[in-house]
Structure 1
């Protein structure tokens, strides 16, 4: 498939989960994480660090430290990277919207060098999360699904007929940068009114602060707690987020005839607060019968989905 993930050197050639484990790496705007994934999908010790706000080499140094610690004494045959986007899966470079220090950074080749030439696969982090849910979680048994990560940013990954649909450059499914508000706020991607400008955790907090809510610390967890306690602005922030999320989901379902949408990430951890207004908004925006048929569910794997998914892609490169 054009734009699918490409190994940095060689290819695993493996189907199934026999032999050595692989290293799974997750690159996000908030944190960097890595863990060995042993045959059969058993996750080893997880190592995390906050994502630095410095230049390209500062971010790389933090990632290299995470990777080195995560490997420890493990025997790994290769590595998979799920990174915030956009990215260029053919060139192996990433330019995450929420990591300003990385623009066109050659993360795949740098990691392959660190791993002494072992093969490295690079995909969007929402794609890796979708694959994890497809194999091990809430996406099992479906034909067409969208996996979403709603956190510091909003990402998406498509699996159609049992294969990742990555698109020409590896960025297909980027639902966070579909436009749902024609006169909306500018987005770091360069557009305006994107789903991410309304639905991401930081966007929700900014809106709530601008409309009279206050807390210490002013973050997504305290906003969710305030909504549970009945604070009207916090409740409105989740309702506003849910409407934008529902509009994006309805559009994706109309385009791709989805069976299921699986939502993970930090915002989804407040599912008890997010789900009721999301269901109500879906009733408004999902009009056609086949669009309404798409199930919308919470991730079963939470923070492990991306790590398990990217490991599965190293074992089964023909899925992309």
Structure 2
């Protein structure tokens, strides 16, 4: 059955993943590589090329009608370029043109990773059927996307909803984006781990000094680990409440690696949200973990591909 699949690419600071996806959101052929985030542009391009090469070699490739890309941002959907904060070698990198050439001239859609998770959660996950939602990814960075009036609102360049770069600490630390005190400088996995270590927390016998290791220690009752997650929850709550006050939301969905900490994150986040979301029209804001898991970026990218074709996915 020709033209019943799209190819999806999920490009982040940790991994570059690819899959072929049908109109129901089912992932078929898939592949993944670590992101060489500190390498040069050539190595990054080679990694994307490897992922695309595996997809084009799949026996289903002849059924692919378009390619959707969800990338760490900022992105410029109009220009087809990406400048991920956590991938320094890519600044105004012409990713769409490179992918289009490698994919044999197929049409290519580009959105930020935050809008991608929003599209995924609205299409297949915790925000399904909701008209007004903020969907976030809290991982190496912090991103977000908006569902407004039942449709993805990605903005003119594909970056709308980028909650990670709302400043919640006016005297805070510099952010790689150029601002200060952004949500990402406090609540990303990298910064949770850094904060815990700086406060005197020591990794356990497994020497896991990542946010996952901090979460395990917090779960076991370590006060320094718990404090690092409480601080991250405060920053997230401030950003979520500000967004809800601005556009009115029914639900905030949290995904990404940090969200896998479970109640270590969600318990203090609920408490902090009650402190910050005080206006009557935001007090009932629901908070939920993402349901699409590690596949969110691919599902959201596929949704963008289907929308490019005028079919399925999350309307934008």
TM-score, structure 1 normalization: 0.92
Q: Does the residue aligned with 1:79 lie in a helix, a strand or coil?
A: strand
After TM superposition, the structure 1 stretch with the greater mean CA deviation from structure 2, 197-206 or 304-313, is 304-313
Shift of 1:20: 2.2
Which residue, 18, 24, 28 being the options, matches 1:34?
18
Q: Does the residue aligned with 1:291 lie in a helix, a strand or coil?
A: coil
Which residue, 95, 104, 107 being the options, matches 1:116?
104
**1:129–1:305 Cα contact (<8 Å) kept:** yes
Shift of 1:231: 0.9
Alignment CA distance shift 1:18-1:290 (3 Å):
farther
**1:19–1:39 Cα contact (<8 Å) kept:** no
Matched residue, 1:74? 60
Shift of 1:45: 3.5
Matched residue, 1:154? 142
1:55 maps onto 2:40 in alignment: yes
Supply the distance in 1 between the matched residues of 2:55 and 2:194 (Cα, whole angstroms).
34
Matched residue, 1:236? 227
Q: Does the residue aligned with 2:282 lie in a helix, a strand or coil?
A: helix
1:168 maps onto 2:159 in alignment: no
After TM superposition, the structure 1 stretch with the greater mean CA deviation from structure 2, 166-175 or 82-91, is 166-175
**1:147–1:157 Cα contact (<8 Å) kept:** yes
Shift of 1:123: 0.1
Deviation track 1:44-99 (CA, whole Å, cap 9, x = no partner) reads 24311111021111101011101211342223111100000001110000000000
Shift of 1:18: 8.8
1:266 maps onto 2:257 in alignment: yes
1:128 maps onto 2:116 in alignment: yes
Supply the distance in 1 between the matched residues of 2:224 and 2:132 (Cα, whole angstroms).
36
Instruction: Show structure 1 runs of 5+ residues with no match.
Output: 1-16
Q: Does the residue aligned with 1:316 lie in a helix, a strand or coil?
A: helix
Supply the distance in 1 between the matched residues of 2:109 and 2:268 (Cα, whole angstroms).
37
Shift of 1:128: 1.0
Shift of 1:256: 0.7
Supply the distance in 1 between the matched residues of 2:9 and 2:163 (Cα, whole angstroms).
22
TM-score, structure 2 normalization: 0.93
Deviation track 1:216-235 (CA, whole Å, cap 9, x = no partner) reads 13111111111111111100
Q: What is the total number of aligned residue pairs between the two structures?
A: 304
Matched residue, 2:172? 184
Alignment CA distance shift 1:293-1:98 (3 Å):
same
- The runs of 4+ residues in structure 1 deviating greater than 4 Å are none
Query: RMSD in angstroms over aligned alpha carbons?
Result: 1.4
Matched residue, 1:24? 8
Matched residue, 1:44? 28
1:64 maps onto 2:55 in alignment: no
